[in-house]
Copies of this chain bind each other. A is one copy, B any other.
Amino acid sequence: MRVKLIVAYDGTRYHGWQLQPNNVTIESVLNQALSELLGEEIFVTGASRTDAGVHSRGNVAVFDTDTKIPAEKISYALNQRLPEDIVVQDSCEVPKDFHPRRINSKKTYEYRILNRKFPDPARRLDTYFYHHSLDVEKMREASFYLVGEHDFKSFCSVKTAAETTVRTIYGLEVTRQEDIIKIRITGSGFLYNMVRIIAGTLIQAGGGKIEPEAVKEILQAKDRSAAGPTAPAHGLTMLGIEYEQMKSVCL
């Protein structure tokens, strides 16, 4: 059967999701724990191949297995074998042809900025500390230009291998609660570093370094150097993925 996992992690200690020689990654830890648990060689396929330092509350991984353990029980047994910074939130059986990156989905990410005078030790791992005052209203104005279908070439690392840089953003919210500004963004898919470059650009708008309207020209430039810097990885969390045909299955 094919099993889907919902995977939460604190990415601080890991070299990102994807397998790498000589480095510990989320994927390598999952493969090892699953192989030991199920007694067969397991290779997971991830939905979002998050970068080093990026966190997750709801990334998705699938794998095939011959086990007799019911799919719903795998999460409990697997968590016994995982380190405390990786916790599977749910497991369920999915159709044999379900591929977490090839089925239409809505992915949601959250970028968190800690905007205050001094860092908060309790939030140092999952927020980006930025002490210059940021105007959330300006960040919100700037964000409006990004919603919808656009060519996001300016918001994409030049290292990308993507065939097309056109993507659709369904929603982009900027909210502030006490000292933490959250940029929550939902889209059909994201280019390499896209959310972090959007965050870096909205920070420029919030700090008055660019006008909110400048985002329109940044999009039109189709040039990475037109946009703001790539905000640090540790402020980013993959919140979750909603698959079109899968409303009824796990989480």
Contact = CB atoms under 8 A, between A and B. Distances in A.
Interface of A: 8-10, 55, 57, 75, 79, 84-90, 117-122, 124-126, 237
A117 B79 CA distance: 12
Contacts of A119: 79, 84, 87
B10 A124 contact: yes
A128 to B, nearest CB: 13
Contacts of A120: 8, 57, 87
A124 B57 contact: no
A116 B90 CA distance: 12
B84 A121 contact: yes
A91 to B, nearest CB: 11
A249 to B, nearest CB: 17
A237 B79 CA distance: 27
Contacts of A9: 121
Contacts of A121: 8-10, 55, 84-87
Contacts of A117: 89
A122 B55 contact: yes
7 contacts: A8-B121, A9-B121, A10-B122, A84-B124, A85-B124, A87-B118, A89-B118
Contacts of A75: 118
Contacts of A118: 8, 75, 79, 87-90
